Structure 1
Amino acid sequence: MRVAARALARAGLVHAYGHCSTRLDAGHFLVCAAKPMALIMPDDEGVIVPVHGELPDGVLGEVRIHQHIYREQPDAAAVVRSMPPTVMSLSAARRTPRRLHGMGAYFTDPVPLWDDPQLIRTEAQAAAVARTMDGGNAVVMRGNGLVIAAPSLEQAVVLTWYMEDAARTDWQLRAAGLEAQAAVLSAQEARARAVGTGRIYERMWDYLTDGDPELSQITKQDAQ
């Protein structure tokens, strides 16, 4: 999880704010340390949080979103709450990235929008954000970032990058005055394109985590 947190930071998908978690079992998950993700060190162990119950001391209030997603989606094994810059810009205009290219094929069209810029600090807000995902893998929060749920932490990190790439493509077409000409992928095209074979997720994970000192150490130990 520390490697994932630092990868998100290096890719510019989080800054001072953002967090990620991975499910441990049906009733618990591990969330990263409550600090800027680029500053998470090898000795930052994170905190175990119950899926049902109060947040432990020192855990950020918006981790309630993770709790409610894990309750709503039993198959979700990881959650990333991030601040991708282009996703943020589109969301301020109540827009979410359209499904225009390969990376966008992994999401519904439209991507659900939580139309409220306030921080998520209450149980009611967190439950509503999770419901807005409607069992999917993403929800954009207006002026407040992105939440991704996935079957693994690696996939959650990769899908966060994919969403920002989808937003960049959409933004560039709009900026070029080509919004009307943009070819949105049909549901059939998206299903055919959104594959996981050919080490799709693994290659992007390798790219995003390349050079991480802790991961490099683990690789050396495995080789010995």
Structure 2
Amino acid sequence: MPATTLARRAFLGGAVAALAAARAFAQSPAPAGPVDPKLLDDLVAANRILADQGVVDGYGHVSVRHPADPQRYLMSRSIAPELVTAADVMEYDLDSTAVEPRGRASYLERFIHGEIYRARPDVRAVVHNHSPSVIPFGVSQVPLKPLYHMSAFLGGGVPVFDIKAAAGQPTDMLVRTPALGRALAQTLGERPVALMRGHGAVVVGDSLPRVVFRSVYTEVNARLQAQAMALGGPVTYLDEEEARRADASVGGTIPRPWELWKKKALAK
């Protein structure tokens, strides 16, 4: 083949690639604006804390709503939570389209976050985890209920999302589409926690410290509830009024464990 033909093909190939890149850039949403470094540090800390507390392992993800634009959220690229740094954080719109991805991979289940933020204007942070102790409560007929004051936020009930019922057919169990994200958000409703059958849980809150607190104590409550039930006798749970009062009291102390967990996790 003549050298001129090869050169022409190489030029055309480069032009096509450049055009595709330009189109992709044009279709990407513009950034919402600068983010306070402290918020990025807290998002990194939230990932590290949940790994340190055994709520997440190589899987799971944490997001926070963008402070400058409620139609955006921040979450790391697809990476193990314990390894997240501020440089890994990406911006997404509520369709879960990445802003300036720069070749970085996104979590397959990012639609969990976008659709919950869309449905719940009150939510400022979201955690998806595969917390081991909650799994049995998502696959059995035994409801997860608060049995001590630290998990009083569970007092309104914990629904279970069944992805097969939502999709109308068997799936790979991953919330990998906006429609499945919407179905999960509908199951969650106005509650702080929903279980996902055969998968894990989603937890929401009005801040990163609160969503981390709830994620940790959902796991702890599930473990303690299973232990209490294994004793064989009746289990006494918090009643509605006890849960309401305890949640109000304990909720004001969240900065205490947050600072402790943060110090421990970031020291590693």
Give the structure-1-normalised TM-score: 0.87
Aligned to 1:2, which of 31, 44, 47?
Answer: 44
| Max Rg structure | 2
How big is the shift at 1:53?
Answer: 5.6
Counterparts in 2 of 1:171 and 1:139: CA distance versus 1, 3 Å = same
Q: Residue by residue, what CA displacement relative to the aligned partner does 1:10-47 show, whole Å, maximum 9, x if unpaired?
A: 11100111000000121111012311111223x53311
Counterparts in 2 of 1:132 and 1:108: CA distance versus 1, 3 Å = farther
Give me the CA root mean square deviation: 2.1
Identity percentage of aligned residues: 29
In 1, the alpha carbon distance for the partners of 2:44 and 2:141 equals 32
- In the alignment, residue 205 of structure 1 is paired with which amino acid? W
- In the alignment, residue 46 of structure 1 is paired with which amino acid? V
Equivalent pair of 1:90/1:171 in contact (CA under 8 Å): no
SS in 2 for 1:62: coil
Equivalent pair of 1:103/1:165 in contact (CA under 8 Å): no
In 2, the alpha carbon distance for the partners of 1:132 and 1:198 equals 24
Q: Residue by residue, what CA displacement relative to the aligned partner does 1:121-151 show, whole Å, maximum 9, x if unpaired?
A: 1221110000001121111101211111100
State the match for 2:76 in structure 1.
32
Q: Give the number of aligned pairs.
A: 212
In 1, the alpha carbon distance for the partners of 2:182 and 2:237 equals 31
Aligned to 1:17, which of 54, 59, 81?
Answer: 59
Counterparts in 2 of 1:16 and 1:55: CA distance versus 1, 3 Å = same
State the match for 2:238 in structure 1.
185
- In the alignment, residue 80 of structure 2 is paired with which amino acid? P
Q: Does 1:201 pair with 2:254?
A: yes
Aligned residue runs from structure 1 range 116-135, under 5 A: 116=163, 118-135=173-190
- Which structure 2 residue ranges, 5 or more long, are not aligned? 1-42, 165-172
Counterparts in 2 of 1:190 and 1:78: CA distance versus 1, 3 Å = same
More moved, 100-109 vs 120-129: 100-109
Q: Does 1:63 pair with 2:110?
A: yes
More moved, 193-202 vs 5-14: 193-202
Q: Does 1:163 pair with 2:218?
A: yes
Larger helix percent: 2
Counterparts in 2 of 1:198 and 1:16: CA distance versus 1, 3 Å = closer
More moved, 25-34 vs 115-124: 115-124
Counterparts in 2 of 1:16 and 1:213: CA distance versus 1, 3 Å = closer
> Deviation above 6 Å: which 4+ runs of structure 1?
none
Q: Residue by residue, what CA displacement relative to the aligned partner does 1:138-195 show, whole Å, maximum 9, x if unpaired?
A: 11101211111100011100100111111011100111113xx111222111111112
In 2, the alpha carbon distance for the partners of 1:53 and 1:7 equals 24
Q: Does 1:44 pair with 2:91?
A: no
